[in-house]
Each structure stands twice: as structure tokens, then as C-alpha cells.
Amino acid sequence: MNRLTIRLETEKDYRAVEELTREAFWNVYKPGADEHYFVHMMRSHPDFIPELAFVLEMDGKIVGNIMYTKAWLADEDGNRKEILSCGPLCVAPAYQRQKLGKLLIEHSFDAARKMGYDVNINFGNPGNYVSRGFVSCKRKNVCFMTHGNYPTALLVCEMTAGALDGKAWTYIPSTAADCCEDTAAVEAFDATFPKKEKAWMPSQEEFYIYSHSSVVR
Ligand SMILES: CC(C)(COP(=O)(O)OP(=O)(O)OC[C@H]1O[C@@H](n2cnc3c(N)ncnc32)[C@H](O)[C@@H]1OP(=O)(O)O)[C@@H](O)C(=O)NCCC(=O)NCCS
């Protein structure tokens, strides 16, 4: 029988988590991946929340992980509310679609609630999240950057029901992921891993559609 454990990430896990992230994301959203670089850099970003960086082990091998940064919502009066943004979230390809991702979300949400957080917002493929309580940002009156802009990929989960009721909000993400704009740094970091072929996959077009469209009605 497989022995499954979810525990906090430690420094000793860093490289294994980066390898896992690279494997899981490779070619899914773009040819190659930059999420392993994001993981590598976010741990030293001030918005990183180490108390919510979990690894999932199967028989002592790390096969899944989830990480979080702080993010914010501003209401109409400019008051800010601190919230969470999860990601990267990944499960090793051989272990996907066995509800391990669901376990990681549920486990980390429980821990997050105990820390006092009540909302999680992230950009993602809706198919991975809508069965976990995430809804379109439009349903919760959360826009991005400009009033009335509701990106299709901007997904909101109230970890405590009703947390966003009665107000209109603007989402303010962490700058933690900005490191990935430095493509030379991404490539240099990737070169420290075994070579992998970059390729096109249909999921890249699917995510292009999600990430370049908005919910308008
Ligand atoms: C996304 C990911 C973390 C999900 O983890 P997982 O353990 O495979 O997912 P789960 O088995 O817990 O369920 C995933 C949900 O995805 C959906 N799903 C299941 N099979 C699917 C399939 N073949 N295609 C698309 N969506 C599917 C369902 O909504 C499912 O939930 P449900 O069956 O309870 O309704 C994992 O597949 C992964 O690492 N993918 C690559 C990296 C990535 O895309 N991360 C997320 C960033 S947006």
C-alpha cells in the first residue's frame, strides 16, 4: 500500500521540488517551462509564505507540492485586504488525476484558514480549479487592473463563505512571479537541469485562450 504524507517543505527539499515542478509544467503552458525558476526565486521573496509550502510524499518520494504568496484586494475606498495566491501547484505526471492535487489544496486551505486567511485568488486553467470551489472573478466582483476587467483565468475561492460579499474589489498580485520575465535568467537556471526538449502541446493554445480573454456578461 502507498504511504501518503503531506508536510511542510524544508530546505533539503528545494531541488527535488524544483525538479518536480519542471517535470509537471514542462511544455504544458509554453514550450519548456519557467515555473521551476519561479519556485526557486519565490522562496526569498518577501511575499512568500513558508508556513504554506507543502510537499506531498508517496512512500517517501516527493510527488506533489503547493506554494503560496501573499496578494491583496483593494475595495472601492482603496482599503486593502491581504489574501492568498496559490501556485505553483503540481503533481508528478505519473501521479496526476488521482486526487492528489485536491488533497494538497484542501490541506493547505485548512492551514491557511487557521492563519486567518479567507480568500485565495490565482490565475489558472479553470478546469483544474472549478471543482475545488473556485469561481470566475466576475462572480465575486473582483476585477484586475482596470474597472470592469474580469480575466477568464482569474479564479477566486472564498475559503470562508461570504468573505467578499457586499463590495467591489481590485486584485493586486504579488510581484514574486515577475522574476520569470528575465528569460535569460530562466534559461540559465534551466541549464542546471538535465536537457529536455521544448515542444508545442495543445494545452498551450488552450491556456492562451484562457489567459487572453475576459468574462464580459
Ligand atoms: C493541475 C494538477 C495540479 C492537478 O492535480 P491532480 O492530482 O492531477 O488533480 P486531481 O486528481 O486532484 O483533480 C483535478 C481536477 O482536474 C479536473 N480533471 C480531472 N481529469 C482531467 C482531465 N483529464 N483533463 C482536464 N481536467 C481534468 C477535474 O476538475 C478534477 O477534479 P474532479 O475530478 O474532482 O472534478 C496536476 O494535473 C498538474 O500538476 N498539472 C501540471 C501543472 C499545472 O498545470 N498546475 C496547475 C497550474 S494552473
**What digits encode the pLDDT tens for the residues 90-110?**
999 999 999 999 999 999 999
Q: 150: part of which helix (H) or strand (E)?
A: none
CATH of the domain at 15: 3.40.630.30
150 lines ligand 1 (CB under 6 A): no
Q: What is the pLDDT of residue 217?
A: 87
Q: How far is the CA of 128 from the centre of ligand 1 (A)?
A: 5
Q: Would you say residue 200 lies in a domain?
A: no
Dist CA 25 CA 89 (whole Å)? 10
Q: Taking a C-beta distance cutoff of 8 angstroms, is the pair 47, 69 a contact?
A: yes
Instruction: Please write the tens of the pLDDT for every residue from 45-77.
Output: 999 999 999 999 999 999 999 999 999 999 999
For the CA atoms of 103, 83, 168, 106, the dihedral, rounded to the nearest 10 degrees, stands at 10
* Cβ–Cβ < 8 Å for 142, 158: no
In a domain, 194, yes or no: no
Across residues 164-174, what is the average pLDDT? 97
Q: How many domains does the chain divide into?
A: 1
Assess if residue 151 is contained within a domain. yes
Whether 190 is in a domain gets the answer no
Ligand 1 in reach of 89 Cβ (< 6 A): yes
pLDDT of residue 1: 63
Instruction: Read off the pTM.
Output: 0.95
* 142 occurs within a structural domain: yes
User: Among 176, 122, 177, which Cα is nearest to 153's?
Assistant: 122
> 193-206 pLDDT, tens per residue?
999 999 999 999 99
Average pLDDT score over residue span 180-192 = 98
- The reply to whether 187 falls in a domain is no
Is 22 within the bounds of a domain?
A: yes
| Mean pLDDT along residues 17-33 | 98
Percent of the chain with pLDDT over 90: 97
Nearest CA to ligand 1 atom 5: 101
Residue range 183-189: mean pLDDT, rounded:
98
Q: Is the CB of 26 under 6 A from ligand 1?
A: no
Q: Which domain holds residue 32?
A: 4-174+207-211
Q: Is 169 inside a domain boundary?
A: yes
Q: For residue 118, what is its C-alpha cell?
A: 479567507
